[in-house]
Amino acid sequence: MINKIKNFQYIFLSLTYLIIVLVVLSTFKDFGVHIEEKFHRMNGLYWLNYIAQIFNFEKISLISEIKLKEISDYTLSSVEHYNKYGVIFDVPLALIEIVFNIEKIENVYHIKHFFSFIIFLISSFFFYKILIKRFKNFFLCLAGTVLFITSPRIFGDSFLYKDVLFLSFFNIALFFLLKSSDSLNLKNIFFFSVFSAIAFNLRIFGIFLPVTFFLILIIKSLNNKNIYSYFKFYSFYLFSLICLIIFFSPYLWSNTLANFLDIFLALKRDLIDADIKILFNNEFIINRNAPDSYLFTWIFISTPITTLILFSLGYFFYSKRFIKRFINIKKEQIYNDLWRGQNEQKDFIIFFILTSFYLSLLVFNSPFYNGWRLVYFLNIFIIYFTVYQINNLIILYRKDYLKRKIILLFALASIIHNVICLVIYHPYQSYYFTELISNNKKNTFEGDYYGISGKHFFLKLSSDNKDQKIKIAVASHTPLHRSLESIDFDLRKNFEVVGQEYKNADFIYKNNISEVNSNLNKKYNIPNNFVKIYELNVNGIKIYEIFKNIK
């Protein structure tokens, strides 16, 4: 009987994933090319060339060098300058480009988008495993996993192999952290170190994983005299983590220590754009001086309301429990100080990472831009506490069949809401805003910061002005010319992007992305001889506008 239930669950789960893959296979080509893709392609080819030279793969070295020389962009910094970016995704994809001889540049990006999503999907399975080990309720955990995948902003970004790629690997590392905390053994710790190293390779925030693991072992050792064994395991973890960080970063293969320190120094020096203006709540603020409410506001306005309510309640009730445990710590006690069983230990780890990370961002005054995309991995914790709260309600009403069903229906309604949003916003899900705020308010925040509307813009102009040579000016900070790579070569050659030289342009592309205060600086003002002929509006959000020169 148990086997039958398990088989049914696996079939149901597989079917869910199959449906998602089929839907994505038919739609993933709709996504435009984002403004950093060109750099990531260059990054992959550069480091592939470096590796190929070290290991004497002459052909790969030669091809990657030729391809690198073909990439030119006056707005793009060289990889030699920005050489600390993670290569864990870029290098394998550059290798695929060369091995399978993919000539069409738009196909290179499509493949990258697809692989990026597949990694996200695999990580969502690990998320399901985290949930099922904690809550042991198949339908609840499946609902949580689907909520995780269909969170509109996360889903939209999952094709763009930037922040959601980090989320994916962080999520897998978190799974092994929880597993290692339950049962300390070399196998779990090794896998934990592999994924921690990959997460660190992609974003420096990965550093929270070893710190959390260290704290868990310390707390455990306070009630358990097994300090030597914990020390042994942690040393092994740290050693393999360091080796793997070096292994995954060709940048660290020479001058290891100096280059490693430089990763942290570079953060301050150049990786975070110094003092750029960002549109936040109708005000242009300097990104290094964003108010403390910046992150909170962004999460609030771009997360579905049901998820937000359940998360808030779940976080509140867990905090209450944590404070109670903290107050009641005694000198001698049978259980661990801050948790009772393995389930509560998992809750504590999730709570600790979320809270300590949020507070660190505030205390270190981290600069932000483009909403909360840099910390999209927090969605793991948001959905975890959402599921936690649904589980609390199910336990509370375990004797009341009707109320239990209402709670599950509520979860189902949240999923349906997410799916509807994915359909409405397609392919701009990464710019989703909650229905709680007015359309006017939505446009007082940064919109198409990735410039993925560029593809739609060029295709629209192509279909409206067949085979004509068109000059485009850009009334935005978006490097629009990079989006040309998202369309076919025959169409591409009809366009010339002239920057802010409005007088030479036939059309102007405008979105609300500006690095200067556009209320005071007239740099992106549309000249009087241009009239608006088109606006792409998705659920009240002005994605972009086209202005035509009437001379």
Partner 1 sequence: MKIFFYKSILVFILFILAIHFSFGVITKQIKREYSSIVSKEKIEQIKNKLREEIKTGTEKEVLINPKDAKLLNNFLIKLRSELEKTKNK
Instruction: Using CB under 8 A, list all residues that contact partner 1.
Output: 218, 222-223, 275, 285-286, 289, 291-292, 326, 329, 331, 337, 359, 362-363, 365, 516-517, 520-521
Euclidean distance between CA atoms 252 and 47, whole angstroms = 12
Place of tokens 């005071």: 520
Q: Cβ 359 to partner 1, closest distance in Å?
A: 7
Nearest-approach distance from CB 548 to partner 1, in angstroms: 28
Could you tell me the smallest distance in angstroms from the CB atom of residue 226 to partner 1? 15
User: Which C-beta is closer to partner 1: that of 323 or that of 424?
Assistant: 323
Specify the residue, 66 or 274, whose C-beta has the smaller distance to partner 1.
274
What CA–CA distance (Å, rounded) separates 110 from 442? Answer: 29
Pairing of β 277-280 and β 283-286: antiparallel
Contact 509, 546 (CB under 8 A): yes
Nearest distance, CB of residue 297 and partner 1, angstroms: 16
Q: Among residues 75 and 365, whose Cβ is nearest to partner 1?
A: 365
In terms of CB distance, is 265 or 359 closer to partner 1?
Answer: 359
Indicate the residue among 4 and 268 with the shorter CB distance to partner 1: 268
**Distance in Å, CB of 312 to partner 1, minimum:** 21
Go through 141-180 and write b for each residue having 16 or more CB atoms within 10 A of its CB, e for each that does not. Answer: bbbbbbbbbbbbbbbbbbbbbbbbbbbbbbbbbbbbbbbb
Residue 55 backbone phi and psi in degrees, to 5:
-95, 10
Instruction: Tell me how far, at minimum, the Cβ of 286 lies from partner 1, in Å.
Output: 6
CB of 329 to partner 1, least distance (A): 6
Cβ atoms within 10 Å, residue 347: 19
The residue among 519 and 529 lying less far from partner 1, judged by its C-beta, is 519
Residue 508 has phi, psi (to 5 degrees) of -120, 135
End-to-end CA distance of the chain: 78
Closest CA to 180 of 167, 193, 171: 193
Closer CB to partner 1, residue 1 or residue 334?
334
199 vs 354 by CB, closer to partner 1 = 354
Number of H helices and E strands in the chain, helices first, is: 20, 7
Nearest to 282 by CA among 519, 447, 440, 444: 444
Nearest approach, Cβ of residue 322 and partner 1 (Å):
12
Please report, as a single letter, which amino acid is at residue 429.
Answer: Q
- Residues 300, 230: Cα–Cα separation, whole Å: 40
Contact 317, 389 (CB under 8 A): yes
Shortest distance, CB of residue 467 to partner 1, whole angstroms?
41
Helix (H) or strand (E) holding 220: helix 208-223
Q: Residue 223 or residue 465: which is nearer to partner 1 going by CB?
A: 223
